[in-house]
Amino acid sequence: MVGVETDTATPTVYDRYDTESIKKFRENGWWQDSSAAALLDRWADTTPTRRFVSDGTTELDYATVRERAHGLAATLAHRGVRPGDRVAVQLPNWAEFVISYLALARLGAVTVPIMAVYRHAEIAHVLRNSGAVAAITTGTFRGFDHAAMFRALQVEAPALRTLVIARGEAAPGELTFAEATATVPGPDELGPHSDPDTPHVIVYTSGTESTAKGCVHTWNTLDFSGRGLAHNVFQLTAEDVMFMPSPVAHATGLVVGVLVPLAVGAETHLLDVWEPNEGLRRIEKYRTTATATATPFVRMALDAAPEAKRDLSSMRFWLCAGAPIPETLALEFERTFTNGVLMPLYGCSELMAATCCHPGDPIERRAGSDGSPALDGIRIRLVGPDGEVGPGEEGEITYSGPGAILGYWREPERTAATIDSGGWHHTGDLGRFDADGYLRVTGRLKDIIIRGGTNISAAEIEGYILAHPDVSQVAVVAYPDERLGEKACAIVVPVKGAAPTLKDITDFLRLERRIVTQKLPERLVLVDELPMTATGKVQKFRLRELARGES
């Protein structure tokens, strides 16, 4: 049975932050008395005919989005959805996702976004953990029947009473998205806007290492990143068009693809299936100006650009997350996107934006670091076994500021293991600061090979191997060794037409990079592609199985 787990008290900002911190956040304007629905009202009143969202098949202005969001909110309320209830939304990058999110925000319900690639097992966990009472999904998308899956889950999850189907057929008792958004709410039926300090969204982690955790964000913790990125990093205006091929049902896509343009009354253009030629076509057609994706998207776009021959002059800003930006990639980007720059960002579902480079940072900074604290109000501290470490020393990256989650939904033990008594969020990532306060993420606490008692950073070795001319992508993982405990295995995606051997790689590392013998990989596996989560993170647990010869 999926069922509903026993409720625990809903986390509050006072569980997470002390009174002085909350006061400081408000005095500095990092937290405000607003809401996503109030922002929608603002733009629908002042610029009603400005296009807000497009997805290649649908184009909606601000007034129409509000009308449909309010209709959906009223329909869900009639079906018994109340403020604080959780509602799962599994939709591709379509306008219906934006409408659904804003409808739930207006109702005061909690959006539980689920990426379109997730299937029964992952969604069962999300439904069980969140206790969702309704779901908004689609019919058949990319050959998979999402509606049928939710019907099967509904049998196991009695709390899941309502299904809304977008771009698909509704079964008896269900609602199509069109009819659900057609309701006209009565005067004051939707009530006041929701409290910006109550749970607003629960974003589930991508599960690269363990069971996905539900990251509880308020409107204020999300808006801090969205509004801050819009004004201080993207420097967006209402004339900009955000391009979003990353899933809007996860952290990067939701914040950058929805909240950032909403902050300034701009437009967002969504792409439901990433294919580089189609992505470049959309950039040209919709004159998009900014985006944020995982690093592999950039590589694919650059590879496709010469043959595509598209006008990419509108793009001025591409925020890049999930992997370092080699200087060669940054230079190639600027040759292809002649008016644009490639900027690194480091963050996660728990914190959204933590560090990034900013307009004016030279290419050496953008290629040589993951930036400095992204926004005013963020503090980053690196901690070693004996406390805070100084410049040049490696330590765990910890975060303090207005953008962190309240905790993990219904998981107090995991919350307590992540957020210390001083309120610092421990990311599990390792990094080093340079003398100027720029961070370089160097790996993960769990992303270490312990060879004969020596800790070896997988990310460090990956950086060395990536410089080999025959290597396109690489991930380094541990595999067990009876004598040494662990050894390093390099999983390599070779450059097209190349087939490097283990000796090729180790000779390069020893002679060209001059690294110590203990850091050389002792096993090599060539693959066509690295297994990724939908947000572009390498699934290292799958690679460990491959390194052990289990798959």
* Sequence-ordered list of residues with C-beta below 8 angstroms from that of 522, at least 6 positions apart, any chain: 487, 488, 489, 502
CB 109 within 8 A of CB 76: yes
Q: What is the pLDDT of residues 384-411, one digit of tens each?
A: 988 999 999 999 999 999 999 999 999 9
Is the pLDDT at 381 greater than 70, yes or no? yes
User: Kind of pairing, strands 134-138 and 162-166?
Assistant: parallel
Q: In this predicted model, which residue has the larger pLDDT, 469 or 447?
A: 469
Residue from 325, 339, 328, 360 nearest 290 by CA: 339
Query: What does the pLDDT read at residue 1?
Result: 35
Choice among 199-208, 215-224, 409-418 with the minimum mean pLDDT = 199-208
Query: What does the pLDDT read at residue 4?
Result: 39
* Sequence-ordered list of residues with C-beta below 8 angstroms from that of 66, at least 6 positions apart, any chain: 40, 41, 44, 102
Cα–Cα distance for residue pair 444/346, rounded to 1 Å: 13
Is the pLDDT at 323 greater than 80, yes or no? no
Average pLDDT (452-460) is 78
CB 65 within 8 A of CB 90: no
CB 359 within 8 A of CB 235: yes
Average pLDDT (299-311) is 95
Average pLDDT (484-513) is 93
Q: Which of 431-446 are b and which e, b meaning 16 or more Cβ less than 10 Å from the residue's Cβ? A: bbbeeeebbbbbbbee
User: Kind of pairing, strands 267-270 and 51-54?
Assistant: parallel
Q: Please return the burial class of 201, using the count of CB atoms within 10 Å of its CB with bins 0-12, 13-18 and 19+.
A: buried
CB 111 within 8 A of CB 252: no
CATH superfamily to which 448-547 belongs: ANL, C-terminal domain (3.30.300.30)
Cα–Cα distance for residue pair 417/532, rounded to 1 Å: 26
Average pLDDT (65-93) is 98
Residue that has been written with the tokens 């899933």 in this structure? 247
Q: Which CATH number applies to 223-384: 1.10.8.60, 3.40.50.980, 3.40.50.2000, 3.40.50.2020? A: 3.40.50.980
Domains 223-384 and 448-547 share a fold: no
> Which parts of 9-109 are beta strand (E)?
51-54, 59-61, 86-89
Average pLDDT (89-104) is 98
Average pLDDT (474-499) is 91
Q: Measuring CA to CA, how many Å separate 363 from each of 89, 233, 342, 368, 459?
A: 39, 16, 9, 8, 21
- Which SS3 state, helix, strand or coil, does residue 298 take? helix
Share of the chain above pLDDT 70, in %: 96
Q: Measuring CA to CA, how many Å separate 354 from each of 236, 420, 448?
A: 19, 18, 23
Q: What is the pLDDT of residues 332-373, one digit of tens each?
A: 999 999 999 999 999 999 999 999 999 999 999 999 899 999
CATH architecture of the domain with residue range 13-218: 3-Layer(aba) Sandwich (3.40)
Side chain identity at residue 513, one-letter code: R
Choice among 25-39, 217-231, 315-329, 392-406 with the minimum mean pLDDT = 315-329
Q: Please return the burial class of 549, using the count of CB atoms within 10 Å of its CB with bins 0-12, 13-18 and 19+.
A: exposed
For residue 352, give both structure tokens: 């959204």
Is the pLDDT at 29 greater than 70, yes or no? yes
CB 270 within 8 A of CB 59: no
Cα–Cα distance for residue pair 276/301, rounded to 1 Å: 5
Query: What does the pLDDT read at residue 38?
Result: 98
Is the pLDDT at 173 greater than 50, yes or no? yes
Is the pLDDT at 198 greater than 60, yes or no? yes
Domain ranges across the chain: 13-218, 223-384, 448-547
- Which SS3 state, helix, strand or coil, does residue 503 take? helix
Band of residue 212 on the pLDDT scale cut at 50, 70, 90: confident
CB 451 within 8 A of CB 461: no
Is the pLDDT at 210 greater than 60, yes or no? no
> Which parts of 42-113 are beta strand (E)?
51-54, 59-61, 86-89, 110-113
Is the pLDDT at 26 greater than 70, yes or no? yes
Q: Which of 391-421 are b and which e, b meaning 16 or more Cβ less than 10 Å from the residue's Cβ? A: eeebbbbbbbbbbbbbbbbbbeebbeebbee
Side chain identity at residue 384, one-letter code: G
Side chain identity at residue 543, one-letter code: L
Is the pLDDT at 5 greater than 70, yes or no? no
Mean per-residue pLDDT over the chain, rounded: 92
Band of residue 316 on the pLDDT scale cut at 50, 70, 90: very high
Choice among 140-144, 220-224, 366-370 with the minimum mean pLDDT = 366-370
Is the pLDDT at 300 greater than 70, yes or no? yes
Average pLDDT (302-307) is 96
Query: What does the pLDDT read at residue 321?
Result: 85
Is the pLDDT at 294 greater than 90, yes or no? no
Average pLDDT (258-271) is 98
Query: What does the pLDDT read at residue 499?
Result: 95
Query: What does the pLDDT read at residue 434?
Result: 95
Distance of CA 498 to the CA centre of its chain: 33
Average pLDDT (252-256) is 96
Residue 517 DSSP class: G
- pTM reported for the whole predicted model: 0.86
Share of the chain above pLDDT 90, in %: 79
Residue from 442, 446, 471 nearest 459 by CA: 442
Q: What is the pLDDT of residues 112-129, one digit of tens each?
A: 999 998 888 889 889 999
